[in-house]
Amino acid sequence: MPKPQEYQHVSAAPTLPKTTPTTTAFDVADLYKGPVTNVETAATIGVPLDEKLRQAYFWIINYGVISPHYDIEYNDGASQTFTFGDSKAQLRLPSGQSYSSFVLVPLLNFAVRKRCLLVGGPGRGKTASAILMGVLAGYSVKEVRRGMQHGQPQMTISDLLGNPLPADLVNAQKMQDIRISWRQWLSMRVKVIDEYNRIPTRTQSALLTVMGDNYAEILDHIYECPDAAWYLTANDDAGGGTYQVIEALRDRIDVVVKALHFNTRFISELLQRIETGVDPADVVPEQIIFTTDEIERMTKEVLTVKLPNGLRRRLEFFASQFEFCEMAGEQIEYKTKDTSRLAAVDVHSLLAQDTGKDKQRDLGAQTKNGLSVRAMMTTMVFAKALAYFRGNGEVEFEDLRQIVPFVLHEKLLPDLDAPFFDAPGNSVLRVDRISWIRKLFDLSCAEYDRQNLDNDDQVGQIEDEFDNGLEGVNEQEVRQRMIKIERLLTGWSKDRKLYGYMFDDLLKLKYLHQRYTNYLHWLTTKS
Amino acid sequence: MNTTISALHPVEAAKPISGALARLLEQNRTRYNARVGQTKKHFPRLDDAKVAAVLRELVQPLVELVDQYAADKTGSVTDVYFDLALELCGRGILGDSTRYPFIEFAWQTLLPSLTPLIVTAPRTIIGSITNAVYTLSCEPSANPMYWLTRLRQAAPLLSDVSTLLKMGQVTAWQTGMAHYRQPALTLCQSLSPALLKIAFGMSTQQLTMEQIVAIMAANPWYQPAVPDAYPQLRIVKCAGAFRGFGGVFMAPPTVYASGDTFVASDGTSTWLLHADAFGATFHRTQGMPRAESTASAFGFKVITGKVSKNQFTVDFPELETVSSIAANATTLAVTTPWSHTISLISVC
């Protein structure tokens, strides 16, 4: 953590320097570079938004939230690792620019305007972090505080959304005559719900509508909310709130980040805050405050970041591991964990019946559910956001690997009784969900590499062939392609156990076969 | 820069701060004290007396002007002045014993004339002016005094922040920052003739400003303020010096052409040389250019001190023994084994 400096100091660009060829051209704008930092001249007005986002990150890290952690690790070449204690705890010294998830993930959420849950014990800076996000969006601290919804057991829908005007309630002849006084926070571009697990269940449903569908409804009146970045906080997300969080609401949360502990070596900074009496949120420099247009532009720019095909394929392979449950159905399409969930049958017991497979290798055996479409979409959006934050136009492997645990934290439920967790060294993963998901991803990638799928993806080849279109493909060619699919299925049925990643491949092959069948039928009818 | 321009006397029996600044300091005592505390954490040697002197001597008159011009902006502008005064005192850039006296001079002489613009974008203007004077102070070829004088002269004509910044950039080139030449020439197109006249230091004008800019673009040695009626082949500039005397070279350099610029090396380091009628600047670079074309390719001939181009031939006895020659379309660069300077010769 750098030494305390003036709150108005913003890290000088470039915050993540990249090697660029030496140039002999001089920029006349350099005249205005000097000891006074944060001078907005014509040259700096157009500072790229990813750079501004990084400057915001470093300002928060330096002055806003004391989070001297670097748990999102990047390496630029070799790095050193040290091992301590009987548990062989490892300390890695990353050789690249690394980040604190507690600051970075909410900031990425700000950039893509999704829904972020901050969990952790009291006094860890969850609310402070959420308030800073509101200030970054251009609101004053007062506005953010007033707009913040504090979860409490007596909270009603009216408390959350607004009230019909009393005079109208008496005089109105029809519903449309009743005017609604909507709560101000609904119009904000950063929405903060403090201790959301203390909100009564009925009010949670109203919140779900706002979070999920971006509108509020009272007495047939609709209020359309603007796109916003959401921040929800909870002291304990494992049922420790006053009310059980409804599953649909939990599912709407896109990313979860845990407030890490306070490092007591930084008490001097607390002392400094006490002595100076300055709340960092009050002194956020203007240079890192985003306008509405900038936020919208930033979101669009994030989405233009490319996800290379090879990386997308790895994500597909990873995501395909979890939904399959061989004993959950007879017909292959129904052999899913969702089938067992709908039938209220314990997934663990079904997985336990599934004998003959290597339970350590079968990643699907570690989870109680599969990944939803929303989870996969969110993973890709946040991977793009992380790449964008790092100034890249393309997602890199490490971006995906680092962000997956935070997105899937609430989406992928571990089966804590799975044999995997009984293996030596794995019991700690029952508790540390971030590390567990990262381990899952690493194991999936190792299997992907072992199968050499980057170079030898037979389903991918068949898929590519189909994606070229059926225009002009003759009957003979179609038959050959169908035979190819059938041969592949024959080979698999002889040689392999049925693992999760094969499940989606089988269904894909069935899909392709069916499309060819229909096409063949059309061809023969036509001729 | 050893010139003492500052009128600051931090330790003499000082008058108390008064007026608008005193009022604001009183109203925001806690906040300002917190900022001083923060700055002291970063700059432990920050001297209260020095800060007080800077506030009293430099900031107070400026705040007073802002208060008279736009009272509703006094608070926000004072915040900027206060923050910058603290930061610059902490860095030793403001206050007595500063190595950058022109910055104080800029605060005393230029900023007051920019008050109408300062109230619109205080940090941008105060910070930019401060940084510009700092940059000019660090460049031996530049003349901050000329820059300040010309900008003060132009102040009544500066309608907005953008114009001020462009005017500052063009004037910086004109007062010695030769490496800004190309972008500054482009910026000339966006400034009014009246402002360009001030930037170029012209008192009279026979050609239109478009014509003058076009000539300057074609001939780096053309000086609009000193139009030369009698062209001659002459040494237009002696660039560089021995490092012990404030230059960059450890040994007599050799020179090479690299497009429109020159590259000079003393055997240890290599430097890009940008030179024109207004200055000559060196910037460290890496590698050497490929030997491109000879001086004769541009019409220059050098034979034992006798230099000729087109119809001009002049004897330069000091260049009788040369160690290297390089040229571009307008300029011949010559070095000798006996000198740490590079002689630049052109027709003008």
Q: What residues does A182 pair with on adjacent strands?
A: A162
pLDDT at A83 (0 to 100): 87
Closest Cβ–Cβ partner in B126, B184, B274 for A28: B184
| pLDDT tens per residue across span A430-440 | 889 999 999 99
| pLDDT tens per residue across span B47-92 | 888 889 999 999 999 999 999 999 999 999 999 999 899 989 988 8
Cβ pair A6:B283 closer than 8 A: no
Closest Cβ–Cβ partner in B121, B128, B272 for A32: B128
Distance from CA of B81 to the nearest CA of A (A): 12
Cβ pair B130:A36 closer than 8 A: yes
Closest Cβ–Cβ partner in A7, A28, A36 for B183: A28
Mean pLDDT of B162-187: 93
pLDDT at A20 (0 to 100): 43
- The C-alpha R_g of chain A, in whole angstroms, comes to 26
Distance from CA of A147 to the nearest CA of B (A): 25
Distance from CA of B184 to the nearest CA of A (A): 7
Residues of A in contact with B180 (CB under 8 A): 26, 28, 31
**Which residue type, as a one-letter code, is found at position B184?**
A
pLDDT at B150 (0 to 100): 95
Cβ pair A32:B42 closer than 8 A: no
**What is the CB-side half-sphere exposure of residue B153 using CA atoms within 13 A?**
17
A411 pLDDT more than 50: yes
Mean pLDDT of A385-410: 94
Residue percentage of chain A with pLDDT more than 90: 37
3-state secondary structure labels for all residues of chain B: CCCCCCCCCCCCCCCCCCHHHHHHHHHCHHHHHHHHHHHHHHCCCCCHHHHHHHHHHHHHHHHHHHHHHCHHHHHHHHHHHHHHHHHHHHCCCCCCCCCCHHHHHHHHHHHHHHHHHHCCCHHHHHHHHHHHHHHHHHCCCCCHHHHHHHHHHHHHHCCCHHHHHHHHHHHHHHCCCHHHHHHHHHHHCCCCHHHHHHHCCCCCCCCCHHHHHHHHHHCCCCCCCCCCCCCCEEEEEEECCEHHHCCCECCCCEEEEECCEEEEECCCCEEEEEEECCEEEEEEECCCCCCCCCHHHHCEEEECCEEEECCEEEECHHHCCCCEEEECCCCEEEECCCCCCEEEEEEC
Closest Cβ–Cβ partner in B91, B123, B272 for A39: B123
Task: Return the DSSP state at A289.
Answer: P
Query: Which residue is closest to A28 within chain B, CA to CA?
Result: B180
Banded pLDDT at A229 (limits 50, 70, 90): very high
Distance CA B241, CA B343 (A): 11
- Widest CA span of chain A, in angstroms? 88
- Indicate the range of A48-62, A494-508, B72-86 predicted with least confidence: A494-508
Tokens of A132: 């800073």
Banded pLDDT at B4 (limits 50, 70, 90): very low
Give which of A315, A439, A425, A312 is closest to A367, Cα–Cα.
A439
Mean pLDDT of B18-24: 90
Closest Cβ–Cβ partner in A22, A40, A275 for B37: A275
Give which of A300, A150, A292 is closest to A228, Cα–Cα.
A292
Query: Which residue is closest to B136 within chain A, CA to CA?
Result: A31
Closest Cβ–Cβ partner in B38, B126, B169 for A31: B169
| pLDDT tens per residue across span A314-325 | 999 999 999 988
Phi, psi of A283 (to 5 degrees): -125, 35
pLDDT at B15 (0 to 100): 74
Banded pLDDT at A298 (limits 50, 70, 90): very high
A116 pLDDT more than 90: yes
3-class secondary-structure state, position A257:
strand
* Total residues found in chain B within this entry: 348
- Indicate the range of A218-222, A286-290, A356-360, B93-97 predicted with least confidence: A356-360
Residues of B in contact with A47 (CB under 8 A): none
Cβ pair A31:B134 closer than 8 A: no
* Secondary structure (DSSP) of A382-439: HHHHHHHHTT-SB--HHHHHHHHHHHHTTTS-B-TTSGGGGSTTTGGGGT-HHHHHHH
Strand-pair category, A89-93 with A80-84 = antiparallel
CA A202 centroid distance within chain: 27
Task: Provide CB contacts within 8 A for A82, sequence distance 6+.
Answer: A90, A91, A92, A93
Mean pLDDT of A257-276: 83
Residue percentage of chain B with pLDDT more than 90: 48
Phi, psi of A489 (to 5 degrees): -65, -40
Q: Which of B128, B129, B179 is the best substitution to test chain A (most A C-beta atoms within 10 A)?
A: B128
pLDDT at A494 (0 to 100): 84
Distance from CA of A41 to the nearest CA of B (A): 6
Which of A228-242, A264-278, B163-177, B249-263 ranks highest by mean pLDDT?
B163-177
Closest Cβ–Cβ partner in B91, B121, B179 for A26: B179
Give which of A455, A409, A366 is closest to A256, Cα–Cα.
A409
Residues of B in contact with A270 (CB under 8 A): none
pLDDT at A12 (0 to 100): 64
Residues of B in contact with A25 (CB under 8 A): 182
- Kindly state the helix (H) or strand (E) to which residue A375 belongs, with its residue range: helix A373-389
A2 pLDDT more than 60: no
Give which of B50, B52, B59 is closest to B79, Cα–Cα.
B59
pLDDT at A4 (0 to 100): 40
Give which of B248, B238, B282 is closest to B268, Cα–Cα.
B248
Query: Which residue is closest to B183 within chain A, CA to CA?
Result: A28
The burial of B225, by beta-carbon neighbours within 10 Å (0-12 exposed, 13-18 middle, 19 or more buried), is given as middle
Mean pLDDT of B326-337: 90
A19 pLDDT more than 60: no
- Indicate the range of A25-34, A222-231, A237-246, A354-363 predicted with least confidence: A237-246
- Between chain A and chain B, the number of residue pairs with CB atoms below 8 A apart is 102
Task: Return the DSSP state at A4.
Answer: P
3-class secondary-structure state, position A250:
helix
pLDDT at A360 (0 to 100): 75
Cβ pair B286:A3 closer than 8 A: no
Residues of chain A in Cβ contact (below 8 Å) with chain B: 3-8, 22, 24-36, 38-42, 272, 275-278
pLDDT at B199 (0 to 100): 93
Q: Which of B35, B41, B271 is the best substitution to test chain A (most A C-beta atoms within 10 A)?
A: B41
Distance CA B68, CA B35 (A): 26
Strand-pair category, A229-234 with B233-239 = unpaired
pLDDT at B6 (0 to 100): 42
Banded pLDDT at B228 (limits 50, 70, 90): low
pLDDT at A492 (0 to 100): 86
Cβ pair A28:B124 closer than 8 A: no
Domains plus CATH for chain A? 102-259 (3.40.50.300), 309-450 (1.10.8), 458-526 (no CATH)
Tokens of B333: 């660069």
Closest Cβ–Cβ partner in A6, A26, A35 for B180: A26
Distance CA B317, CA B305 (A): 5
- Indicate the range of A37-46, A97-106, B44-53, B309-318 predicted with least confidence: A37-46
pLDDT at A423 (0 to 100): 86
A525 pLDDT more than 60: yes
Cβ pair A35:B162 closer than 8 A: no
Q: Between B112 and B207, where is the model more confident?
A: B112
Closest Cβ–Cβ partner in B37, B131, B286 for A39: B131
Q: Between B214 and B287, where is the model more confident?
A: B214
CA B8 centroid distance within chain: 24
Closest Cβ–Cβ partner in A39, A272, A278 for B128: A39
- Indicate the range of A120-124, A418-422, A436-440, B65-69 predicted with least confidence: A120-124
| pLDDT tens per residue across span A143-162 | 999 999 998 888 999 899 99
Q: Whole-number mean pLDDT of chain B?
A: 87
Cβ pair A6:B35 closer than 8 A: yes
Residue with tokens 């719900």: A193
| A383 touches A427 (CB < 8 A) | no
3-state secondary structure labels for all residues of A123-172: CCCHHHHHHHHHHHCCCCHHHHHHHCEECCCCCCHHHHHEEECHHHHHHC
CA dist list (Å): A141 to A306, B69, B322: 36, 30, 70
B5 pLDDT more than 60: no
Banded pLDDT at A231 (limits 50, 70, 90): very high
pLDDT at A428 (0 to 100): 87
pLDDT at A220 (0 to 100): 84
A280 pLDDT more than 90: no
Q: Which of B129, B131, B163, B167 is the best substitution to test chain A (most A C-beta atoms within 10 A)?
A: B131
Cβ pair B88:A8 closer than 8 A: no
Tokens of A476: 């003979």
Distance CA B38, CA A284 (A): 14
Residues of B in contact with A41 (CB under 8 A): 124, 128, 165
Q: Give 3-state DSSP helix, strand, coil % of chain A, rounded to 5.
A: 50, 10, 40
Banded pLDDT at A262 (limits 50, 70, 90): confident
Q: Which of A3, A7, A28 is the best substitution to test chain B (most B C-beta atoms within 10 A)?
A: A28
B319 pLDDT more than 60: yes
Closest Cβ–Cβ partner in A6, A27, A30 for B38: A6
Query: Which residue is closest to B142 within chain A, CA to CA?
Result: A31
| pLDDT tens per residue across span B105-150 | 999 999 999 999 999 999 899 999 999 999 999 999 999 999 999 9
CA dist list (Å): A396 to A320, A383, B86: 20, 8, 43
Distance from CA of A3 to the nearest CA of B (A): 7
Residues of A in contact with B273 (CB under 8 A): none
pLDDT at B8 (0 to 100): 43
Mean pLDDT of A356-370: 84
Cβ pair A6:B162 closer than 8 A: no
pLDDT at A355 (0 to 100): 67
pLDDT at A23 (0 to 100): 47
